[in-house]
A and B are shown apart, each in its own frame.
Chain A
Amino acid sequence: MKQFFAFIRKEFFHVFRDKRTLLIMFGLPVAQIVLFGFALTSEVKDITLTVIDQSHDVNSQQLVSKIKSSSYFVVTEAAPGFNDIAGAFKNGTAKCALIFPANFGSDLQHHGRAPLQIITDGSDPNTAKTVVNYLTAITTAYQQEINPGKPLPYLIIPEPRMLYNEEGNGSLNFIPGVMALVLMIVCTALTSVSVVREKELGTMEILLVSPFQPLMVLIAKAIPYLILSLLNFILILVLAVFVLNVGIKGSIVLLFLESMLFIITCLSFGLMISNTTNSQQTALLLSMMGMMIPTMIFTGFMFPLENMPGVFQVIANVVPSRWYFLIIKAVMLKGLGFKYIWKETLVLLGMTLLLLAIALKNFKTRLS
């Protein structure tokens, strides 16, 4: 045991003296959280809208002022006779245009119906769709307002609610995703370097000649990273809760335990990489560059997995962060208990054992 502690101590010294490693370990999560939390938001705000009002009546004025009062649009009213919508899209002065035909108000009052054209910049389809939705919603609301007490016959009014995230806070989906991504990359990358570094420096020979058990070498190498990764997890969680206002609905203990399992999965993966490569560069390239994109895509927080072709959905199943993402979403956002996530937990556990077995098998106790 004393032998074991001597080893763990040594590993801690390595980590703390390597400023670059520490920077990756704690800088990356903070940077990612800030980037994903603030820069990469799916909400659409301050859309530039050009209003072309050929009718200039009470109704069109009322509708425009309603649009103006919502926080989503920056409205400019085009000069009479303005016709160059495509030009406005091209030079970026507008993202969408709203066109009232000449007899908008009178048609509405006399015929009970009036057309209204919305033109959006389809080169950005996501924003375009959101804009249409917003404008439709505002129009529908206005419609009901001018018809008080006499609801239109057979009118179906959808009343959508976003359960678990009523305000449409984009961080809610990103945070679990970023947690999965960051833990996956950081844990894997750091451990992947740890064994291979000793091979490169030549100190591995010394360890192999010593009576220290190979299995113990692996465990002792993983423990400091496990502790640091748990601290890292807490840091991310604190940032999420206090900076990005993402509440934790479920049990914190469960969240912590599941995260620990996931961290161990990643550490095993890192050890496996470390034992199968021969240079720190290869190991780092494999674990950071090689893992970053697949993890981002297949975790499912940026692009829904359900929309991917079948082959990719199958591939996604072998990415550990995908399962962890499901777990923390369930616990953090929906407040679910263990009985709803035991399957995902089992998958992670299985992966961990498999990765550890491969890592151990490839740990060369002899040089040739």
Chain B
Amino acid sequence: MAEKVIVCKELTKRFGDFYAVNKISFEVNKGEIFGFLGANGAGKTTAMRILCGLSHPSSGEAQVAGYDVYQQAESIKKNIGYMSQKFSLYENLTVAENIEFFGGVYRVPAAEIEERSDALLQKLGLTGEAKKLVGALPLGWKQKLAFSVAIFHRPRIVFLDEPTGGVDPVTRRQFWDMIYEAAASGITVFVTTHYMDEAEYCDRVTIMVDGKVEALDAPSRLKAQFNANNMDEVFYQLARGAKRSGD
């Protein structure tokens, strides 16, 4: 039995009488790549924010890395990494300064920061650009760097909120290679995306429609269940009944 790193039971977030997230329940295993799919406004970002401690749930239960989201948000924060759909690095800081800053904020020891950032820059092929401002890098590199920074402190779980938006297919492929590598090293990856081809890369996917979880399984089994050739068709069958349009 795999270790559960995220457990949600009937998790709900209400704004007035609008249920952004409506009684969702799921579990995520350690080292898993867990995809979180849904149209704009389906509630995936809200759900993810609750799990990161950025937002309080209205009701229901959730544990992240073994800590309760109501009581132990600070402990959760130490054990997760986060990369948002908006850009997560400081554009007017250099590559090296960004790494140092986030390493410092997550209390990575100074010697470790140096060692790990050297290795990281080498891996990304950015050694020559360490002193360049991040704002001057192409978007694909920024996103790869942002992901590396998000897992720099070796969190147990990393949350990725539409990490590949606007990135070209080749870079997206490379980005997913990095995700696989992280998962192989034991980091659980929780990723939201719009791209259905990316959904195929996940171990399991959740499809949210109007704040509810409509499907949750491995991509291959979802395809069989909905008698579809690809995830696009699965998603379309589920999402066309949605009442909420994009936000």
Contacts and interface: CB of A to CB of B under 8 A. Distances in A.
A367 B187 CA distance: 26
A6 interface: yes
Contact of A209 (B82, B103, B110): B82
B53 A2 contact: no
A368 B105 contact: no
B10 interface: no
Interface in B86-121: 86-93, 97, 100-107, 110
A13 B49 contact: no
A182 to B, nearest CB: 26
B79 to A, nearest CB: 9
**Binding site secondary structure of chain A:** helix
Interface in A153-188: none
A219 to B, nearest CB: 14
B105 A208 contact: no
B54 interface: yes
Interface in A1-25: 2-3, 5-7, 9-10, 13-14, 17-18
Interface in A185-221: 201-203, 205-212
B104 A2 contact: yes
Contact of A210 (B84, B91, B106): B106
A14 B106 contact: no
A14 B105 CA distance: 16
Contacts of A209: 52-54, 77, 80, 82, 159
Contact of B55 (A5, A6, A207, A368): A368
A18 B92 contact: yes
A3 B153 CA distance: 13
Interface centre among A18, A209, A212 (most CB of B within 10 A): A209
A191 to B, nearest CB: 17
A110 interface: no
A212 B102 CA distance: 10
Contacts of B103: 6
B104 A206 contact: no
B43 to A, nearest CB: 13
B56 interface: yes
A13 B56 CA distance: 33
B9 interface: no
Given A201-B86, A203-B90, A366-B54, A7 B15 contact: no
A211 B10 CA distance: 27
B110 A2 contact: yes
Contacts, number: 82
Given A211-B105, A367-B55, A13 B97 contact: yes
A211 B106 contact: yes
Nearest to B107: A3
A141 to B, nearest CB: 66
Interface centre among A3, A5, A210 (most CB of B within 10 A): A210
Nearest to A4: B104
Interface in B54-95: 54-56, 74, 77-78, 80, 82, 84, 86-93
B54 A367 contact: yes
A6 B100 contact: yes
Contact of B105 (A7, A18, A367): A7
A210 B84 CA distance: 13
Contacts of A207: 105
B107 A211 contact: yes
B107 A9 contact: no
Contact of A14 (B56, B90, B159): B90
Given A206-B82, A366-B54, A201 B106 contact: no
Contacts of A211: 74, 77-78, 105-107
A13 B88 CA distance: 17
Given A210-B105, A366-B54, A368-B55, A14 B82 contact: no
A110 to B, nearest CB: 85
A7 B78 contact: no
Contacts of A367: 49, 54-55
B204 to A, nearest CB: 24
Contact of A205 (B15, B86, B105, B133): B86
A13 B93 contact: yes
A202 B88 contact: yes
A17 B90 CA distance: 12
Contacts of B100: 6, 9
Ordered nearest first, which 8 A-B pairs have the shortest CB separation? Answer: A6-B104, A202-B86, A209-B82, A211-B77, A17-B92, A10-B101, A211-B78, A367-B54
21 contacts: A7-B105, A9-B100, A9-B101, A10-B101, A13-B92, A14-B90, A14-B93, A17-B133, A201-B86, A201-B87, A205-B54, A206-B82, A206-B84, A206-B88, A209-B80, A209-B159, A211-B77, A211-B78, A366-B53, A366-B55, A368-B55
Given A202-B86, A366-B53, 6 more contacts: A2-B110, A6-B100, A201-B87, A205-B84, A209-B54, A211-B105
Interface of B: 15, 49, 52-56, 74, 77-78, 80, 82, 84, 86-93, 97, 100-107, 110, 133, 159
